[in-house]
Structures are given as C-alpha cells and as structure tokens.
Chains A and B, each alone.
Chain A
Amino acid sequence: MTMPQVNIVESHQHETANEAVILDKVSKTYQMGEVKVNALENVSLELPKGEFIVILGPSGSGKTTLLNLLGGMDSPSQGEIYINGSSVGHLNTTALTRHRREHIGFIFQFFNLIPSLTAEENIAFAADLVKNPRDTQDVLRRVGLEDRADHFPSQLSGGEQQRVAIARALVTDPPLILADEPTGSLDYETGKLILKVLRKIVSGEGKTVVLVTHNAAIAQMADRVVRLRSGKVQEIKQNPVPLPPDELEW
C-alpha cells in the first residue's frame, strides 16, 4: 500500500497574495484529425487582482483557448494554472464545475442567453447555483436594465442582451470575470456602453476582468495588456493611465 502524499495540498496551492491568475508554462495541443495544432505554447503569466486585463491578438493566436483554460472550460496539455491561488489545470470534472460556479463569471461574444427564460430568469438561472447570490434585481439595475426584467432575449437589443449576460456573470459574485470578445457582435456605441459596464465592475466592485479581443483600440482602456501571437505571449505591457471607455475610438 502506498503512503498518502502529504504534500498534495501544498502542491495545489500557490503563494498568490496579489495574483488573480498565474499560468506556469502552459501548453495546449489539439488533435485535428492527423494534424496536431499547438493552440498555446509554453505560456507563463501572472495577472494581478482587481485589474482590467486585455488579451489581444489576431484570429488563431490562442486567445479564446487561453480564456477557456482560465475558466476551467478546457484543460491544459501541459503546465499549471492557478486561479486565486488554487491550481485548476488538472481538476476533475466535478471540481472544475465547482470552480466555475464559485470563482468565474463568463461573458460571451454571442451572449448565450436561454431564449425560453426572461432577462431576470436568465440571471436567476446562474443565481440558483450558489448559496448567497446577489439580488437579481440589483444586478439588473447595475447594468441599467431594471425595466427589462420580464423581457425575453428575442425582445431585447444586442446591447441589452449582452448586459443581461454581464448581470448573469455578476450575480454569483465571482472574483474573476472572463469576457470573450464581448463587443464583437455589437455596434460601436453599444460596444462602448458594454465596456463602460465592465470597467465599472473593476473600479466599483474590485473584480478582476480578463477580456479577450482582437480590437487593439480596446487595449487602451486596460490596466494590463497581454499580446498573443501564434499561441505564444509576445508582450505584456502595463498601462499606467488607462483611457476611459468613452474616449476609445475604433
């Protein structure tokens, strides 16, 4: 019989007083038929808490793969990922589900609202999963949609649908919000409105937001910008004076 490994807990913890996210030599390889595709190659990153972080890169650079790994929607082929100090890279399905439920809020490019539920019910759909969710009306108010609570997604505009998606991400009160091209399917003005809401989440609520985009203009509002190209980190740049979303131009 083998002895229990006493260092298991230690090996899954990381001294991360200030880091929301740490990636340690993370690689992700997909098998596409007979071809191996390296979506991420040996990526190491440390992203501090309470910042608005933009991951920038062209199509196929590995941004969405990185976001999926952070969100526990996918597992790395190699390397380790720590979210708020806990290793999540190699958790089993149940632990990953709990991790997403308690620590992550997702915002998608295509909103992914459930068409059969109203705006408020879409938010409640996530709130039902945690013990002490935030008030659904309150989060709706924060995204400016309190008067749209009873509308179904098909009765909302694209910007409104995305704000419902943001409210859904906030209702479980996760420390980390992951946004995948949240303005990708919105017009310029609506896009800026969404970015303002996201910025407010960081400044007003102290959350960490990781936003993935190919739109370089958005990088100007970030506290930190990570540039990806062909699955590798090209550059990590801190932005001492982020621009307010209103002043962004694209």
Chain B
Amino acid sequence: MATIQRKLWRDLRRQLWQFAAVGLIVLLGVALFGASYMAYQNLNSSYQYSYEQLKFMDFLVTQRQLPGEAVQTLETLPGVAATQGRLQRELRVEMPEMDAKRAEGRVISLPLETRANVNDVKIERGDYFRADSTPQVLVLKNFAEYHGLEPGDILALTIGEETVNFRVQGIATSPEYLWVAKSALEFFPSARNFGVFFMPEGQMAELFDTRGSYDQVAIRIAANADRSEVIERVTEVLSPYGLPEITVREKWPSTRMLDMDLKAFSQVAVAFPLLFLAVAAFVIYSLLTRLIMAQRPQIGLMKAVGYSQQQIRNHYLGFALVVGLSASLLGSALGYILSISATRLYVKLLGLPYLNTDPRWETIFFGLLAGLVVALLAGYFPARAALRLPPAEAMREAAPVSSGRPWLERVFPALAGRSFTWRLPFRSLFRSRWRSLTTILGTAAGIALILVGVSFFDAFDYAIEQQFERIQNYDLRLSFNSPRPESILEQIQTIDGINRAEGMLDLPVRLEFGQNSTTTLVSGLAANNELHGLYQGNKRVAISEEGILLTSNLRQVLGVKVGDEVSVQAPSNSASYRVVGFVDQPLGTQGFLPLDEVRRLSALPKALSALLGRRTAQDSISSIMINSNPEASAAVLDRLYQLDGVAAIQVMDRFRSEIDDLMALFNGFIGVMVIFGVALALAIVFNIVTTNILERRREIATMRTIGTPRSKVALMLTLENIITGLLGGLLGFGLGYLGAGFFIGIYNSDLLTMSTIIYPRTFVLTGLGLVLILLISELPGILSVNRMNLAEVTKEQFI
C-alpha cells in the first residue's frame, strides 16, 4: 500500500467518530430516500399487481335492465378482452345484536361456479361460493373486521320489505374497493355504516327478480386497444337500451382516491428525502471543508515534497469517497429494509389483497449514486480550494478572518468589561465566521427538519379538531334511504336526550367555472343552522340567500374568486350562483346553499316524480344533524333506529377514531420522517459541536496549560455552543415554518386540506430538545479535551 493511502486510512481511523458522523448524515439521507421512494413504488406496484391478479376493469358500464345477450355481444367487439355482466343493488343490513344495529349495504353479483372474468375477488378467509341453495354472501374485509364477522356467521340483509338471513361464506378483498368509498362524493364512509357484499348471480337475480338482465357490465380491454374507441363501440351497441353511464378506471372512487393519495405520497417521498440530501450535502460540505482545512499544513507539505495537485486532490476526495460509498451502501440496505416494513404496514392498514416488494434496483442505484455524488461534491470543493493555496502559504495556519475587538463589544460596552469566560465565546463567533456560520446553518437545518416533520402531526391534529369540534357541532348524523319531510324533525326533538336537531339536504352536483369543473356535494342548510359551523378563519359565516359558499380548496380547483358566477348542475336541474365566500373545511370539498335553494335544484319534473314515487316535496331533507346528551346516547340511538326510512346513523366520535385509524399510516410515515429528522439533527449538531471543540484542541490545551480550570473551559465552550445554537434555532424555526408550508401544500388534496399549523408547544419542545442535543453533543468533545495530554498536544504541529 502506498504511504499516501496508509495516511488516508490512518486519518480516517484517527477521526473515526467525526467521519462516521458525516457518514451517518449521508446514510440517513440515502436510507430515507430509499425507504420512502421504494415504499411508494411497492405500494404502486402492489395496487397494479392486485388490479392485474383480480382482473380489474378498464371501465364500467351502468345501465338498468341490460339483456344478457347484449353483454354477450359486447364480448365479441374488437378491443374488448373480457366482460362481466352483473347486478348491483343497495340494501339494508340489520344487525340488531350489534352496536351499529343497521348499515347501508351494496350487493354485487359474481358467478357461482366460475370466477369472474372482470373484477374478481380474493378470498382472505373462508371460501368462495358453495353450490348449494342456502343464501350466501361474501363480505368485504373492512366491514367484516369492523363488525367482527367471520365465515359461517349469519347476516341479515333487508331487500325491499323482506329480511333474509345469509351465511357468510367468505371474507373477500376486491380491486374495486381497495379504498372503500361509497361514491365519488363519499370518500370517508365508515365501515360502521356502509358495507359491500357479493352474492352468487342466480341467487341475487331471484331475490331482486331481475329476470336475466344486468345492471352493469365491467369491461377489460385488449392490450393494444384504444379505450375511447372501445367505449364508443360499446355505447353504440348499447344505445337501443338507453344511454349508458360509463365510469373509466381512473374515475372510479377507489382508484381516484388511491391515485390522489399515491400522488401526494410520491411527492412527499421524493421532496422530503431531497431536502434531507440537500441538508446532508451542505453539512458534509462544511464539515469536510473544516476537516480538510485543518490539514492545510499537511497539504502544504505534500506540495513541498512534490505530490502533484491531482494526487493531493485524489487523496482528499478519497475521504469523501470512503465515507460516501460506505454510508451510501449501508443507507441503501437500510432503506430497502425500511421500505419493506413501510409497505407491509401500508398494505395491512389498507387491507390490500397482494403485496409486492421486489427490490427496486434503479432506486437503490439512484440512492447510492446520490449519496456518493453528494459526498464527492462536498469533498471536491474544499479539496480544490485547499489546492489553490501556494504551498508556502498552505503550511502556515489560516489566520482568523477578523481581528480586533468585535463590533458586539463596541456596541455593548458592558460585555467588554466582563471576564474572558464571557467575552471569548462571543469573540469566537466573529473570529471564525465560517465555523460560526456553518454551526448556525447546520443547527437551523436540523431544527427545520424536525419541525417540518412534526408540523404534519400538528396540522393534521388541528384539521381534525376543526372538523369535528368546530365545524361539525353534532355528534350524530342520521341519513335516510330517500328524502323525508322536514316534519320528522319535530318527532326527533321529542326524544329524550336530544338537545337539537337540524335537517340538511345533500345533492351531488357538478360545479363549472370557465374551463374548470368538479364533481362535489352541495348541502342545503337552514338559515338558522347552528350545528354545521361555517368559518372563514375565526369568523363565523352565515348561509347566504345571495349565492353559494364554497370550501376554500375549491378556489384553486375551479379558479374562482368571490363575486364570480359558478354553474351548478344537479341531476335534474341546473342554475348559476354567485360565489359569496369561501369557508375553511379540512375534509372534502363542498358547496353550501340555503336549504330551499337545494330543494329547488333537486326537484324532479312532476310527472317523473309521480312515476318514480320519489319525494320532491318543498320540505324534504336527506339527513339530520343531531346534538345529543352523551349519557343518553345508547337510548337515543335505539329510538332513532326505530324511525322509518333510517338508512344509517353516523356516530361522530367513532367516525373520528376511524379517521384516526385510517391516518395511522400517514402518521407512521411522518413518524419515520420525524425520527430521521431528529437523527439527522442530532448527527448534524453532534458533528458540528465536536468539530468545533476538536478543531481547537491546541488552543484549549494552551488555555489549560496556563492554568484555566476545566470547568471554565467547559463553560466557555458551552456558552459558545448555546449562543450559536440559539441563533441557529431561531433561524431553524423560521425555515421550519416555511418548509412546513411547502410540504403541507404538496400533501393537500381534494380529500384533506390542512393549514400550516405548528403549535407553540412544538416550538418549545423542539427548542428544549435542541438545548439537550447541544449539551449531549459537547460531552464527548469536552471529555476528550479534558483527557488530552497537554504536553503532547501543544507539541503537535499538525492536528
């Protein structure tokens, strides 16, 4: 081994802890990138794999009373790979012995003896249908788990007026309901109130008396077929039976929801680790600069004895290479392991049918490369700067940047009168500006990383608090099978334990403004509404006769401002309304109009109304918000379930805890980010503080030699660290707040709108944590200088 290589290894060994800490920063950056990006890729491929395995549809055709022959014709069309005609009906689930009592159900038919050509299910427990005459169902996993249903249990489903007992044949997962959304407007249905069931086709046809017709056809297209052409052909074939409703795969509620979630996840999975790597790059750059600058005299000597520029540069790049390569390798391995755990967790929480965790070599390679490039670049610039020095100058120690009394002592003469114990730490700040700057910036970066992570918890907590404590002032929400007269409110008000009840009419609509449009829900609220709070910041807003109120996330979606006219298209009517304001609402998008206005919009033409027997009276409501006495809740629920036409009752407390469960994954992901952030902050601060102390071994040895007590030296170092730490902390708070705004912005979606909120307690805890980290970080350095052999250190020329 050439002597210069030996020097490299010896120096690495001599400063093992410092290089290891630099390596740890690279390792954390690479691991976080690998873990989060591979988790995203795994999740995406688990979805795709589930879609593939369970033959998920490319589009769904919905059309009532579709003859079986028409479905057979569709199969022969060019570009169609497979079709599956099926029935889909809504019904009631009766669970008198269970807490929820009743839920809304959706039942979908599947072939009895063969598996479905499109939209098959995976049996998680139990079996697929058995060829016998006992009524049987497969229950979707989330509903079964919520209500504790197992194969062999009996479940009562009410079809029309008749209640039939079904044997639970199996517990299944479906590609259509990876995310169980009831419709495009109800993203967060509670498993308490909504369940999906599968029945053998023949059994279902008999129960619903469908006489060989279908309600829907799920279609998969051939590999190279053009979907829009296939849809055109399908529409043409089905045109004699009416106008079919087509839902393409990406507009399907579950897919749309998961895509939205995945998109937010992918952005955070890339942006957060990039932030990590950027911070890591800066910290490594500053640390390697200092490590290399500490070797200035050695660089001078190497030049003097005839080492070439290239040899010297390679030597110093060698430090970066060894640190970068080993840290990147370990980081990639750790990232891979973490990505599998993260994916398993996600898959478990979402109840995905299949898990795919193939190694993502391109991501591993990119992570490795990024870690290596960051380390090499961080090492290259200081090495190049050191090489620019003429050898004679390099051999002299670098002079302090500034000399003389710092301005601080001129501005604060009181400080000048203090002892050196107080003055030196302040002077040190100005004496080595690069050191002070890197300490401040490094600490700021560490603090910002922690805050960005923790802000997600705060923002989410705040959003949920707003939604359930301030906006939804009710604890029960009762929904009917079909609109009911408002007079039912009087009946409800008489129930003991109910404090207040208000009606609401929800209507699915399409909002349009210029080129932009979106599907959402418009809710009609009474003018004296109290239970659904509408807020602009802290200001409560009343429902307005003058126009429509929109949730603030629709401002971007539609590109509207107050005063603009938006077009509201309901299934049977449409109208234009002036936007009178925006209201804050964390969950979902929504519009608000006066109750009577929504009644007008929902009114069916009289003839049709009579034909369908549906109520379009001028006093109808679709749901009721109820504020009840918590002690009487069980009795209240009993009474409410006895009312006519009650489809489901949502208990807000339970709904809130379900949302919390759903967000457990998000919390887990952010939790990992926070742990990485804290580890990185610790590594940064530890590195900087240790380097600050070790860089001055000789100076400290000199102080000690002339009789400065150890405690005084420790006090001076602590003071200096606290001063730079606090400056860094303040800057970090600002940067963290900005960073939180950015990351929360990219995470927000139609589903969840969070504001940039960092609770004061988070600032306080982070600040205290910083002081603790600072104190812990300086311990090894101080212990090391306390243990050093003064005679030896003061004799060393190169440290």
Chain A residues near B (Cβ < 8 Å): 64, 68, 71, 73-74, 93-94, 97-98, 100-102, 104, 106, 108, 110-117, 121, 124-130, 153-154, 158, 168, 172
Contact = CB atoms under 8 A, between A and B. Distances in A.
Given A94-B309, A113-B797, A154-B796, A125 B7 contact: yes
Nearest to A71: B304
B233 to A, nearest CB: 74
Nearest to B391: A73
B392 A74 contact: yes
Given A74-B392, A112-B297, A97 B6 contact: no
B395 A108 contact: yes
Given A73-B392, A94-B309, A154-B792, A114 B798 contact: yes
Contacts, number: 90
A154 B795 contact: yes
23 contacts: A68-B391, A71-B304, A73-B390, A73-B391, A97-B303, A97-B306, A97-B307, A97-B308, A106-B304, A108-B395, A113-B798, A114-B298, A114-B798, A115-B14, A115-B796, A115-B798, A116-B14, A125-B3, A125-B305, A126-B305, A128-B2, A128-B3, A129-B306
Nearest to B13: A116
B306 A117 contact: no
Given A124-B3, A128-B3, A112 B301 contact: yes
Nearest to B305: A126
A74 B389 CA distance: 10
A126 B297 CA distance: 16
A209 B762 CA distance: 69
A71 B301 CA distance: 12
Interface in B597-630: none
Contacts of A94: 308-309
Given A68-B392, A100-B304, A112-B304, 8 more contacts: A64-B392, A71-B304, A74-B390, A94-B309, A100-B305, A101-B305, A101-B307, A116-B10
A110 B303 contact: no
B7 A117 contact: yes
B746 interface: no
Nearest to B15: A116
B297 A101 contact: no
A101 B309 contact: no
Contact of A172 (B298, B306, B796): B306
Nearest to B8: A116
B635 interface: no
Contacts of A154: 792, 795-796
B4 interface: yes
A116 B392 CA distance: 22
Nearest to A120: B3
A74 B300 CA distance: 12
Given A97-B303, A125-B3, A126-B306, A112 B395 contact: yes
B243 interface: no
Interface string B284-313: 000000000000011011011111110000
Interface string B360-399: 0000000000000000000000000000001110010000
A117 B6 contact: yes
B11 interface: yes
Contacts of B659: none
B535 to A, nearest CB: 63
A114 B3 CA distance: 11
A101 B300 CA distance: 13
Contacts of A68: 391-392
A121 B3 CA distance: 6
B643 interface: no
Nearest to B5: A128
Interface in B740-799: 792, 795-799
The 7 closest A-B pairs by CB, nearest first: A101-B306, A116-B10, A73-B392, A125-B3, A68-B392, A73-B391, A124-B3
A7 to B, nearest CB: 29
B295 to A, nearest CB: 9
Q: Is the interface of B mostly helix, strand, loop or mixed?
A: helix
A127 B303 CA distance: 14
A128 B305 CA distance: 11
A133 to B, nearest CB: 11
B16 to A, nearest CB: 12
A172 B7 CA distance: 19
A116 B11 contact: yes
Contact of B303 (A64, A73, A126, A130): A73
Interface in B1-34: 2-4, 6-7, 10-11, 13-14
B797 A110 contact: yes
Interface string B80-114: 00000000000000000000000000000000000
Given A73-B390, A121-B3, A124-B3, A93 B309 contact: yes
Contacts of B298: 112, 114
A217 B6 CA distance: 41
B414 to A, nearest CB: 32
A150 to B, nearest CB: 13
B797 A129 contact: no
A102 B305 CA distance: 9
A93 B303 CA distance: 10
Nearest to B307: A129
A112 B305 CA distance: 11
Contacts of A125: 3-4, 7, 305
B393 to A, nearest CB: 8
B145 to A, nearest CB: 62
A106 B305 contact: yes
B307 A121 contact: no
Contacts of B798: 112-115
B793 to A, nearest CB: 9
B396 to A, nearest CB: 10
A94 B303 CA distance: 11
Nearest to B310: A94
A102 B7 contact: no
Interface centre among A64, A101, A172 (most CB of B within 10 A): A101
A200 to B, nearest CB: 21
Interface centre among B6, B301, B304, B395 (most CB of A within 10 A): B304
Contacts of B395: 108, 112
Contacts of A172: 305-306
B305 A111 contact: no
A224 B328 CA distance: 60
A73 B3 contact: no
A154 B796 CA distance: 7
Interface centre among A68, A73, A101, A106 (most CB of B within 10 A): A73
A114 B14 CA distance: 12
A121 B797 contact: no
Contact of B799 (A97, A104, A115, A117): A115
A235 B420 CA distance: 49
Interface centre among A108, A116, A124, A128 (most CB of B within 10 A): A116
Contacts of B300: 112
Contacts of A102: 306
Contacts of A115: 14, 796-799
Contacts of B796: 115, 153-154
Contacts of A73: 303-304, 390-392
B14 A97 contact: no
A173 B339 CA distance: 59
A77 B548 CA distance: 81
Nearest to A171: B305
Contacts of A116: 7, 10-11, 13-14
Nearest to A124: B3
A121 B297 CA distance: 18
A40 to B, nearest CB: 13
Contacts of B795: 154, 158
B310 to A, nearest CB: 9
B686 to A, nearest CB: 23
B550 to A, nearest CB: 65
Contacts of B304: 71, 73, 100, 106, 112
A127 B307 CA distance: 11
A74 B308 CA distance: 15
